[in-house]
Structure 1
Amino acid sequence: MKKTVARLPRRHQVLLSSVCAATLVLLLLPSEPATASRHSAEPELEGEQLILGQRYQLQLELAAQEAAVAATSEPEVRWSGYQIRSGDSLARIFDMMGFSPQELYKVTRDKQSERLLRKIHPGDTLRFAQDPDGELVQLAYQLNATDTLIISKTADGYVSEIEQKAVETRPAFAFAEIKTSFWNAGIDAGLTEQQIMSIADMFGWDIDFALDLREGDEFSILFEKKYADGEFIGYGRILAAEFVNRGNSFQAILHDNDRYYTADGQAMRKSFLRSPVKFTYISSSFNPRRLHPVTGQIRAHNGIDYAASVGTPVMSSGDGKVIASAYNNLNGHYVFIQHGERYVTKYLHLSKRLVKNGQRVKQGETIGRVGATGRVTGAHLHYEFLVDGVHRNPRTVELPKAESLAKTELPRFKDIANQRLAVINDNKRVYLAMR
């Protein structure tokens, strides 16, 4: 490069040196701050020069501004609650909360509101929402764990609706072994009273819960537990159950029609109940050569005595027609019922008869109450079962066969039954292995 410059004429060398010097001077001079123009929809920023690296406060978009203004302009609502006490009335509650009788009248003009608010009772809570002027804009009343009555003020007056929480059901399992009594076994297994009675009703056509149960009998159930917002709110249906009584296994599975069937699709419900009273202690069983407790003579005891307190309800064990409802010195107050052509059931020593001759009765209908009338030594029900005029043991007599599901329903039902019984068996094995 130097050799090339040296070969140039003198005047060219001078000119080249001058250009280089000028260029160097321009590079070393300070420049103006760098700027950039910004195009904006805001008039106050139009054409403004923006300095790089400096922060600017940007305005909200028009929609966001309007939303913020609307939010700040909404009237504030104040909520307050009132827990109902004994002796409270709606009029008193509204007055104590600062609302006029006219507001109460307007609220209860809605028929649903008026009907449901009449059902308030001590311990319930009413929640009131007021605007800044003190007017009632909404009232909430929780009816149960899932339903809440919401009463809202509108341009046309107060209107109500039922707000419902979504309910989730989860399967649960329980196992119990009878040691002292069926009832105690159920309680020890964590079952509710309603669940225990449901099990007795479910198997009441096959098992006499007052007489047939023995220590060592066991039962397992698969049932529903209900949840709302993740919180337990109660129990649902029993989906399936198994009862082992004296080595015999009885199974019941719930079908879509809310009836229980055996695993092969036969209805659990039969023509007769094994026992006409709820499970209680039985003082005497069927014995055709029993020594009579009053006369001391051998006399056939063609029935079963159910020892129960006076007033215990007595049920008809099957559908039928009352053929006798009367009193005599031997039987006391008694009721006889004809069931079709072949069967008759008799109920003796009642304290009260609740049916009349010729009356039609349904299975499970209360026909009288336990007493101590006639020739007896204590309060009890004497129950007899006759087939073709011959006394038969109510505990062991073969009852008419149960109905079956329609053939078209059986495949689907059996799939459900097999699944639920498999769950019961798996849980039972785990439970027994952990004991």
Structure 2
Amino acid sequence: MKRYLRKPLMLGVYLPAAALTLGAFSYQPLEYSLPLELPEPKVAEVQLEEPHTLAEVSIADFVYTIQPGDTLSTIFERLGVSQKEMYQVLESDVSILALDTLKPGDKLGFWLEEGRLQQLELRFNVAHQVVFSRAAEDTFEYSEVLVEGQWREQVVSGEINGSFYTSAKRAGLNAAEIQRISALLQDKINFRRDLRAGDRFQVVRAEQYIDGEATGNTRLEGLRVFNRSRELTAFMFDGNYYDLNGESLARAFMRYPTKRRFRLSSQFNPYRKHPVTGRVRPHNGTDFATPIGTPVLATGDGVVTRVTKHPYAGLYIVIEHGEKYKTRFLHLSKALVRKGQTVSRGQKIALSGNSGRSTGAHLHYELHINGRPVNAMKAPIPVADAVGKDDRMAFNQLKDRLLEQMNANQG
């Protein structure tokens, strides 16, 4: 059963005996070491009634609201939790890579017993939490909570005046949404060269709500761009995007992330025993026995959402392919793309390596569908097909509904 944080401390707690400050924190994937000097303690909105040592209050639950200015090591240090336990959590995190996605405004919850960490909760929003729980003396396991909630649609409209990016930003779209639109239509239009002042665009965007509270998650339901005498369209149906005629906007996925077929050194296995630690840990991807420096290819069109390092995953890249699909590439030696970049199927994005913790040079490749890892060698992958005959009526109904919303908001 899911446990919820019970004692939120928005600014911090002043512990005279330990001189600790809780509050602002920004997780920085490349920085795990402590600064040489900790800041002076601040008296927060909530104070303990009398002096305590950390051990005396360690059974309390703490909530940490993340803001720029600290590291993961600093927070563990200030709570009196050992760096060893931090790395035990990071070892579990290699299967989900959730700690690398923390940003200001997210919350961290700590459960401590006699100075030892028992549970760590990452609360991204009311629809998404990840919990690391102690499973053994030196082992943590993770669980992920995803809530579908309700999605409310709205039409965002704008006119080109300057670049597409600045025009879309002015209309109310965020950077990730703009990048997604660029990736969707990259084979149809060159956004830098083809758009002209006065061209228009409309986007039906859905926002997620849980019990009336916005989570900050959005998705693109449909869009159209009026470029001089032509109209470009995209409608999301069953997790994929199609144009007005029901033709797929995505080229077929590649099954393999390399040009050559390399030996599979480790298969997808949610119950695999880790070759280094001997513990049962999910292996959420497929390992290819690639020599260091082997070109790694994007398996589908998409947008790069992460290029960063992890103590155990090493240098890794994450690419999102529309709303439904995501791929990950771990243990790389060199990245050839940057965050926010639009990539095409078959494009060289990295060189394989042996970074992080691994038993030898290899490429770890993951495919996620609707937020869950699947066997990339067997799972159904997008093919560049049109909407099937059996689904044509449902697609047309969806398309007509979205077009009606856009027509009603032409201003």
Shared topology, TM-score over 0.5? no
- TM-score using structure 1 length: 0.42
Q: Which has the higher helix share?
A: 1
Radius of gyration: which is bigger? 1
